[in-house]
Each structure stands twice: as structure tokens, then as C-alpha cells.
Structure 1
Amino acid sequence: MGNSQSRHKKRRQKEPPAAKPTKKFAKKTKATRAPSPDTVLTRWFDELKGDTDEIMITDSVPWMESLGVSPEGIAFWVIAYWCAAEGRGAIRLKEFMEGMKALGIDSNNSLRRQLPTLLRDVAPGSDRFQKFYWFCYEFFKAADAKYLPLDMACEMFTVLLDERSYSTKWTPPAESNSSLKVKQPITWEKFPHKHAFLEFLGSTPPPTKVITKDQYRQFIPFNEQVDTDFKGYAIETSVWPSLFDQFVTWSKEKQPKDENSMDQSELP
């Protein structure tokens, strides 16, 4: 009996101590890093561009529609201006990234929210209008050209000098029944010669086939400084582009004659 207890005691002493229960730790998941601003903008740019490495005007149609504006409006022109685009009718990746960073925009949603302000800040009467107006000439001019084709220049005069174009609600007049539709020519106070000048350019035969940079730029001060009745405008001493002199002559010929005045040849 004593020997049996002794053997059990020895076995208990030889048995290893019971293992302590181990603590179970939850696996730590590696935090996913948010993409960098450059990555976000590059991905966005890649979604917008077409077959080239630029966002061309032709590529901008679905983009403008996603922003809720007409593709035929000036929204793309305005975005290109804020991106300081130098490409002919296109926005490059570097320009896109730098422009959007400067504006604090990183998605279509944030651009949609800011677009009304971006349009308003370059509209006629704003401090940036002249810069935007000049920018558009270079933006649309072909790389190897010195002039704008007449039809393109007329389209730009029509849209850029219409204050209603700088609204996200603008729609092409021919496709809209809204209050923004132009049913009759409207003479805006800022550009009183606009409609008559466009009529002059569209006359047959046309007075010119192209619009030069000087003619394009000078049309704004011409509207600001020359009255619609052309009082005091002397063609002989004019310092305006010769195309404007032709316009003045054409306009005076279209003006109704004073019924109280008589041609000297009609006097008895």
C-alpha cells in the first residue's frame, strides 16, 4: 500500500504542468490607404479622355452631359480656361491636374457644385472676362494658323458676348423653348454692335474670310467706345481695324434716311 502511494506520487511529480490557456488575438487587418490626389485625378482624367492623351472637345460631350450642362455651351471652354490649357481645343493631363488642384476639385460632383461660380467669374462684366475672351481665340485657333475661320469666329462672338451663355441652364436656342431661347436679336448694353456686326459678317459676299487676333480683341473696346449712331466716327482718321471701318460704312448705308433732309440733286 505504501509502495503504491509512493509510485503515484512519483508519477505526478514527473507529469508536465498543464498548459496555460493561450489568449486569442484578433488578426490585425492592414489599413487600406486612400489613393493620393494625383491618383484620383489621373483616374478621373483617364475616364474622360478619348483615344488620345488629351480631353478633346469631341470627348467632352458625355462629360458635359454628366455635369448637367449643354455640350454646345461654353462650359468646356471655361474649364479649359481654369486649367490654363495650351492645347488647341484640348486639355492635357498636367493641365487638368494642376487646374483641378488649384480649384480644390477632385470629382465630377465637386466640379458640378463649383461650375456656376466658375462660369460667373469669367462672364462679361467680371474682372476675368477679357482674359477668358482672349484665351478662347488661342484655344480654338489651329496650331499653324494665324487667323480664325470666319464661321468659327462668328460662333464665338455669338456665344461669348451673350451673358446668358454663362449659366448652367443655357441651352441651344434651336432646341429650347425656355426663356433663354433667342427669338429676336437682343442688343446687350455691353456689346451694342454685336448683332449688326454678325449680320455684316454674314452678308453676301462676305467682307472677309477670316478674323485676325487684332480684329477679335479690338471688338470689345469698339463696343465700349463707339456709339451705335457712329457720331464722330471719321473713317479717314480711324485707328480701328479696317474691317470695322467697312462695318461702319455698311451700317450707315442701312440706316434710314432723315425724311426732313433732301438730297441736293432733288432740289428744284
Structure 2
Amino acid sequence: QFVAATGATSRTAATYLRSNAWNVERAVDDYYDSGAAAPPCESKALVELFEKYKGTDPEEPSTIGIDGTINYIQDLGVALEDPVVLALAYKLDAPTMGQFPKQRFIKGWQSMNADTIPKMKKAVESLSADLANDPAFFKEVYKFTFGFVRPQGQRVLPLDSAVEYWKLLLEDKFPNEDVFSKWITFVTEEHRKAVPKDTWNMLLDFVVNVLGSEDGLESYDAEGAWPSIFDEFVAYLRR
């Protein structure tokens, strides 16, 4: 599959597949990100747009950096604190905040059939609508956000960062503002621990399937596969 997608030799394929745990998609991205080859059907318009915003760091010549990202998002007519920025980062497979590698940028926009700022603005409007109306897409973006904003080299998300992004993404998913406020108070004043991936991911399930259910807390199964923080929060709510 790697050879068919890239035209590389079997030896090159083995090298990139081995370094990416035999994940074909990641290996192909790594191959192109490394500059080993140019991807097929590269859009001239997209390349020119990328060149307009890319950084000047000689160590990262094929990446739009923080300053370029800020300018780019503003040119799309989007506020930096708008949740759709996370949806866009997800669609462009951005590895971390303030970075858009060239090949991922081009591949992502090609998949959305947009190669000009006006077309991209329309695509962003569509992403915003999907974020609001498509629960499956929202869940994908929410889960992506953990790795996207987590500090490099760490396995957990600092609590202050988690709270910031919960306020951005989940506040209106809770049954009401009071319950959300109690969650924030609980994690900051009682639990006071960094947030692992399973807690981050399962909070959305807890909000939708327990707090948002007809029976509310009565539907919570303490014997289920919930991280212990949810047992503690349910007990906190029942005080």
C-alpha cells in the first residue's frame, strides 16, 4: 500500500513503515513531511498560499508556524478562540498548536476542495455547522483536541489547559450551566490532578449518556468501566 501510494522502493517503504509502527497512513505522511518526495497532484494555488504564511525558521522550512497561523486564521475571518479552529486543525491533521506542515496543509485542503481564501472561508463555515450539528464529528474533534493541545512529551493534559478547553467545547453540552460549574469546581478544588486521555475522552460520553439522559445520575453505573474520577464526581453531586 505504501509503495502504491508513493511510488517509493520497497526498502524505503520498510524504513518508513517500521518507524511508524506499520501504520500505512502515518508512514505516508511521514514520507512526504520529510521532504523525501513531493505528493502527487500538488495544487499550485495551495502551494502559493502555503508559501505566503509559512515561517522563516530554517529548521522548519515546510511548516506554517505560530505567527503564520495567527495571520492565516485571521484572514479566514475566524477568531482564534472559536472552536472551529480546532475542527480546522483536525481536518488539516495539524500535529500541535501553531503548526501546519506543508503536505498535511495541502492534502487537507484538497480533501475539502478548497484552494483559495474565499473557498476556505466557505469550508470553515461548513465545519462550524458540522461541529454544532453532527455529534459524531464533534466527538472526533473533541478527542483530537487532547493530543493537539497536550504539551509535547507529556502523557497528561495540565488541569488549567483542560479546564480552558472544556469551557470552549463542552460548556453547552452539559444539561445546564450549574452542573458544568460544579464539574469545574470539582476538578479544580477537589480532584486537582492533571487530566489523562481516558478521562478527557470519557467526559463527553458521561455528559451525553449520563447527565444528558432522561434518568440523569440515576443511570450512572458505578460498576461500569468509568475512570474513578466520575465515581467521585457523582458522589460530589449527591452530597
The one of 96, 102, 111 equivalent to 1:88 is: 96
Shift of the alpha carbon at 1:252? 2.1
Shift of the alpha carbon at 1:188? 4.3
Structure possessing the higher relative contact order (Cα contacts under 8 Å, 6 or more residues apart): 1
Number of residues paired by the alignment?
Answer: 191
Corresponding residue number in structure 2 for 1:199? 185
CA shift in 2, pair 1:221/1:91, >3 Å: same
CA distance in 1, matches of 2:87, 2:63: 16
Q: Is the 8 A contact 1:191 1:223 kept in 2?
A: no
Corresponding residue number in structure 2 for 1:239? 225
Corresponding residue number in structure 2 for 1:111? 120
1:82-109 deviations in Å (ceiling 9; x for gaps): 1123x22222100000011111111212
Q: After superposition, where does 1:40-119 map in structure 2 within 5 Å? A: 40-52=45-57, 53-85=62-94, 87-89=95-97, 90-119=99-128
The one of 186, 196, 199 equivalent to 1:215 is: 199
For normalisation by structure 1, the TM-score amounts to: 0.62
For normalisation by structure 2, the TM-score amounts to: 0.69
CA shift in 2, pair 1:234/1:67, >3 Å: closer
Counterpart residue identity of residue 241, structure 1? P
Shift of the alpha carbon at 1:48? 1.7
Q: Is the 8 A contact 1:157 1:194 kept in 2?
A: no
> Does residue 152 of the first structure (1) align with residue 161 of the second (2)?
yes
In structure 1, runs of 5+ residues without a counterpart are 1-35, 164-186, 254-268
Identity of aligned residues (%): 24
CA shift in 2, pair 1:191/1:125, >3 Å: farther
Counterpart residue identity of residue 220, structure 1? L
Q: Is the 8 A contact 1:48 1:60 kept in 2?
A: yes
Counterpart residue identity of residue 146, structure 1? R
Q: Is the 8 A contact 1:65 1:71 kept in 2?
A: yes
SS in structure 1 opposite 2:107? helix
CA distance in 2, matches of 1:78, 1:231: 33
Q: Aligned-residue CA RMSD in angstroms?
A: 2.7
Shift of the alpha carbon at 1:191? 9.4
In structure 2, runs of 5+ residues without a counterpart are 1-40
1:12-60 deviations in Å (ceiling 9; x for gaps): xxxxxxxxxxxxxxxxxxxxxxxx8533212211222233432345532
Counterpart residue identity of residue 157, structure 1? W
SS in structure 2 opposite 1:105? coil
Corresponding residue number in structure 1 for 2:18? none
CA distance in 2, matches of 1:102, 1:214: 30
CA distance in 2, matches of 1:39, 1:190: 48
Q: Is the 8 A contact 1:124 1:161 kept in 2?
A: no
Corresponding residue number in structure 2 for 1:167? none
Shift of the alpha carbon at 1:232? 5.8
Shift of the alpha carbon at 1:247? 1.5
Counterpart residue identity of residue 227, structure 2? P
Q: Is the 8 A contact 1:37 1:106 kept in 2?
A: no
Counterpart residue identity of residue 88, structure 1? T
Corresponding residue number in structure 1 for 2:5? none
The structure that has the greater radius of gyration is: 1
CA distance in 1, matches of 2:117, 2:139: 27
The one of 132, 139, 153 equivalent to 2:148 is: 139
CA shift in 2, pair 1:37/1:149, >3 Å: same
Q: Is the 8 A contact 2:91 2:108 kept in 1?
A: yes
Q: Is the 8 A contact 1:64 1:75 kept in 2?
A: no
